[in-house]
A = this chain, B = another copy of it.
Amino acid sequence: MHELGEVTVTEPEIIDFACRYDPRPMHTDPAAARALPFGGLIASGWHTAGLFMRLFSTQVLNRARSLGSPGVEELRWLRPVRPGDVLRGRYEVLDVTPSGTDPTRGTVRGRGEMLNQHGEVVLRLVARNHFSRRPV
């Protein structure tokens, strides 16, 4: 398990992200959000995914020779993320598969999670990433 570090979620960033990419009152309007199901402003799930990715890119992908990703098998938003929450990321390799056609490449399948300051998992994903392999 790799610890990826922490990020603090702010209300201005929640609103800014959502105005661009998920413009719904529960993510953009603190007053309106109080009357909505979560009882207050919550981050777009795509924003939380972006915050995970910020940590994962910085701590993992930029330290290897990342060749991109074909996608995500599963992406779950398990709890709401609110202004002031401090999220920490972690990542665990599930399996590693050398390319069948190019011996210089391989694919890593791994599980990423974001946890809040109460230790609750707020986001979980399972993704595949392609890498250049180290020379043997």
Listed in ascending order, the chain A residues whose CB lies under 8 Å from chain B are 20-24, 26, 37-38, 44-46, 49-51, 53-54, 57-58, 61-62, 66-77
* Chain B residues whose C-beta falls within 8 Å of the C-beta of A24 in the assembled complex: 57, 61-62, 66
Cα–Cα, bound, A38→B70 (Å): 13
Cα–Cα, bound, A75→B58 (Å): 22
* Chain B residues whose C-beta falls within 8 Å of the C-beta of A23 in the assembled complex: 54, 57-58, 62
Contact, CB under 8 Å: B50 / A21: yes
Contact, CB under 8 Å: A74 / B73: yes
Q: What are 23 A-B pairs with beta-carbon distances under 8 A?
A: A20-B50, A21-B51, A22-B50, A22-B54, A23-B54, A23-B58, A24-B62, A24-B66, A37-B68, A38-B68, A44-B53, A45-B71, A46-B50, A69-B77, A70-B76, A71-B74, A71-B76, A72-B72, A72-B74, A72-B76, A73-B74, A74-B74, A75-B75
Residue of B whose beta carbon sits closest to that of A75: B72
* Chain B residues whose C-beta falls within 8 Å of the C-beta of A69 in the assembled complex: 45, 77
Cα–Cα, bound, A68→B75 (Å): 14
* Chain B residues whose C-beta falls within 8 Å of the C-beta of A45 in the assembled complex: 69, 71
Q: How far is the CB of A18 from chain B (nearest CB, A)?
A: 9
